[in-house]
Amino acid sequence: MFRYLLRRLLGAFFVVVGITTFSFFMIRIAPGGPFDSEKMPPPEIMRNLEKKYHLDEPLMLQYARYAKDVLVHFDFGPSFRYPERSVNEFIDLGFPVTLRLAIYSMIIAVLIGISSGLIAALYQNSRWDYSAMAFAMLGVSIPDFVLGPLFQLIFGLKLHWLPIAGWDGANFYVLPSLTLGSMYAASIARLTRGGMLEITRQDFIRTARAKGLSERVVILRHMLKGGLLPVVTYLGPAAAFMMGGSMVVEKIFDVPGLGRHFVNSALNRDYTMTLGLTIFFSAIIVLFNLIVDIAYTFLDPRVKYE
Amino acid sequence: MMALLTVNNLCTTFSTPEGVVRAVDGVSFSLERGEALGVVGESGSGKSVTVMSLMRLIATPPGRIESGEAIFEGRDLLKLPEANLRSIRGDEIAMIFQDPLTSLNPFLTVKRQLTEVLETHRRMSPKKALTESIHMLELVGIPSPAKRINDYPHEFSGGMRQRVMIAMALLCRPKLLIADEPTTALDVTIQAQILELIADLRHEFGTTVILITHNLGIVAEVCDHVAVMYAGKIAEYGKMGEIFVRPRHPYTQGLLRSLPRLDEKRAARLESIVGQPPDLTLLPTGCAFHPRCEVKSEHCLREFPSAVRFGDHHYAHCWHAEDRS
């Protein structure tokens, strides 16, 4: 187990190195630069700026410098757009907000998703099943940039129950979390239903019934663990994508998280910012996948890592 | 003496896209205490569905028990409220299934799966249930049971897994043990051990047994009565000796002829029954066996044969049963 962990961490490191390299050159291929604007600054200033950020050096040298800073010192460098602040500072400030949004969204997604999936599976082909799956279908197909404004309109402007934007306390968290969570809730509901129905058909459930166990024990003890495995597999990447992919929701609800910096930096060609956030989020995705794989060994005794 | 189990006119159907299939069609038999009944037949002959119907373990839908009764010690299993039936399952009637790998829960330890039976039916404390379970594992021949009980099913070999299954079924000392092809998924040497174990435990506990198999050799080893099923109906029923020595139904005769024999010269070609088991959605008229039968007459195409009796216990559903012996 320990050796497995070590190997996976080493693998994860190389994945991050690969992503660093790839995105470094990708963003340089994109036309334009961080200091381009409608009115170009005088060439002398441009030269000075490029010198300051080492943009005048050969690309390979820049890459080596950047890779060393990131991988050895965990330093993503200064933002090109906001010269007085570093990318690390942005992460320090923005990530807790993004993380909080992701956690609340995940709680909503798991609670709604698993319970409606369970109801749908246990009352298969009943009206409960159909309505839960209809909602799941809606949740999957309505994009967050439609759902978000819809919530703002209904709960904010019409009913005046909740603030429509900002991030100043508990009641500000509700709508963004609901918007971000509902999409994942829908997927989790469908996975739960599928997983549970798959388990219901297994021989060992017939055995459990033949043993005269109560339906409650059959479901809670014999079905749940296996039935929720697909959900666990999904949860890792979902958690990571929630953090990395909340930019739309953050933009709609004006949440001061990392997501909006991600979008803006890409548009502004703020090289270090885009790169830094890409690497940061990919590291999180890799990490969560690893966590899921390890969680698997606790859930499914047949899975063992050597 | 009152029979332990009397089944009358059991009918179970399944709705399929091709129409309603009568998987069990009017099965009746009765089982004395201590008896071991072998139910034989090809795949799809309705053997498993018969016993699953008795335990009401048929998935409904698509399955449905249409009619019949199954009187177990004065109670009709088919009409009992679910809660009462649940207290019989695993306690008075226990089951062993074909494939012990898929029939044991891979996510739970053997300990959990054994003790829960005693905790449910005997209201035993976890500690007492554990002692009892370890004792039972020892009885079915699992080495160092106190240690192995903490393992998961996949950590056992196929034969050991089936022993675990048997131990689980016997925990409450059931009056009736239903074994649904208990050795089909095992290799031949292990098969023999498991059969021997079932036979031993049967005598030790005086358990009544229904053994489902497609292997007549297995029946000969364990059972004293045989029911031969074909297309959802019992074709022939009788004492083991009678069936083997004087089979009356052409299907039984065909089955016996297709067994390899030790006393024949080696070059002899193994016989088989011509044709295929019938498609249950398109059953032949009259006696369902007639397309494969060597002795059929016009009568067989028109009407299902009524039982022809030979002595108290032996009967065959064949219009020509008396012509042949």
CB contact under 8 A, A210 and B89: yes
pLDDT, residue B149, reads: 93
CB contact under 8 A, B116 and A211: yes
- Domain-located, residue A185: yes
Query: Is the alpha carbon torsion for A265, A270, A275, A280 positive or negative?
Result: negative
Q: pTM for the complete prediction?
A: 0.78
Kindly tell me if the per-residue pLDDT of B61 is higher than 80: no
CB contact under 8 A, A212 and B89: yes
pLDDT, residue A306, reads: 66
Q: Per-residue pLDDT tens for B256-271?
A: 887 777 776 666 677 7
Nearest to A212 among B99, B121, B154 (CB): B121
Q: Per-residue pLDDT tens for B3-60?
A: 888 998 999 988 888 888 888 888 888 888 889 999 998 888 888 899 999 999 888 7
Token representation of residue A280: 């940061």
With both helix axes pointing from N to C terminus, report the angle between B110-121 and B158-170 in degrees, rounded to the nearest 10: 10
Other beta carbons within 10 Å of A67: 14
Mean pLDDT on B276-291: 80
pLDDT, residue B311, reads: 79
Count CB pairs under 8 A between chains A and B: 74
Tell me which residues of chain A, numbers 216 to 245, contact chain B at a CB-CB cutoff of 8 Å: 217, 221-222, 225-226
| Residues whose CB is less than 8 angstroms from the CB of residue B134 and which lie 6 or more positions away in sequence, other chains included | B145, B146, B149
User: Cis ω on the peptide bond leading into residue A163 (within 30° of 0)?
Assistant: no
pLDDT, residue B205, reads: 85
- Domain-located, residue A103: yes
Number of domains in chain A: 1
pLDDT, residue A70, reads: 82
Q: How many angstroms separate the first and last alpha carbons of chain B?
A: 32
Token representation of residue B103: 């029939």
CB contact under 8 A, B90 and A212: yes
H-run or E-run covering B53: helix B47-54
pLDDT, residue A109, reads: 93
CB contact under 8 A, B106 and A300: yes
Q: What one-character-per-residue DSSP string does A237-257 give?
A: HHHHHHHHTTHHHHHHTT--S
What does the radius of gyration of chain B's CA atoms come to, in whole angstroms? 21
Q: B173 CB near a chain A CB, below 8 Å?
A: no
State the Cα–Cα distance between residues A188 and A182, nearest whole angstrom. Answer: 10
Other beta carbons within 10 Å of B65: 21
State the Cα–Cα distance between residues B325 and B323, nearest whole angstrom. Answer: 7
Q: B89 CB near a chain A CB, below 8 Å?
A: yes
Kindly tell me if the per-residue pLDDT of B226 is higher than 70: yes
* Strand partners for B179: B96, B211
Mean pLDDT on B168-189: 87
- Domain-located, residue A160: yes
Compare all CA atoms of chain A with the CA of B156 and give the residue at the minimum distance.
A302
CB contact under 8 A, A221 and B102: no
State the Cα–Cα distance between residues B143 and B101, nearest whole angstrom. Answer: 19
Of B200 and B321, the structure prediction assigns the larger pLDDT to: B200
- Domain-located, residue A224: yes
What does the mean pLDDT of chain B come to?
86
**Which residues from B are below 8 Å from A222, CB to CB?**
105, 107-108
Intervals of chain A under pLDDT 50 = none
Q: B122 CB near a chain A CB, below 8 Å?
A: no
Q: Per-residue pLDDT tens for B68-80?
A: 898 988 889 888 8
Q: Alpha helix (H) ranges present in B206-257?
A: 216-222, 240-245, 250-257
Mean pLDDT on B169-192: 86
User: In Å, how far is B90's CA from the nearest CA of chain A?
Assistant: 4
pLDDT, residue B275, reads: 78
Please say whether the beta carbons of A178 and A108 come within 8 A.
yes
CB contact under 8 A, B120 and A211: yes
Q: A212 CB near a chain B CB, below 8 Å?
A: yes
Kindly tell me if the per-residue pLDDT of B182 is higher than 60: yes
Domain that holds residue A204: 99-256
User: In Å, how far is A202's CA from the nearest CA of chain B?
Assistant: 7
Nearest to A214 among B55, B86, B88 (CB): B86
User: In Å, how far is A221's CA from the nearest CA of chain B?
Assistant: 8
Q: What one-character-per-residue DSSP string does B3-43 give?
A: -SEEEEEEEEEEEETTEEEEEEEEEEEEE-TT-EEEEE--T
Domain with A226 in it: what CATH number?
Answer: 1.10.3720.10
- Domain-located, residue A192: yes
**Which residues from B are below 8 Å from A221, CB to CB?**
108, 112, 116
- Domain-located, residue A8: no
CB contact under 8 A, A211 and B106: no
- At residue B272 the predicted structure's pLDDT band, cuts being 50, 70 and 90, is confident
Token representation of residue B111: 């300990």
Of A111 and B293, the structure prediction assigns the larger pLDDT to: A111
Kindly tell me if the per-residue pLDDT of B242 is higher than 70: yes
State the Cα–Cα distance between residues A214 and B68, nearest whole angstrom. Answer: 26
State the Cα–Cα distance between residues B23 and B49, nearest whole angstrom. Answer: 7
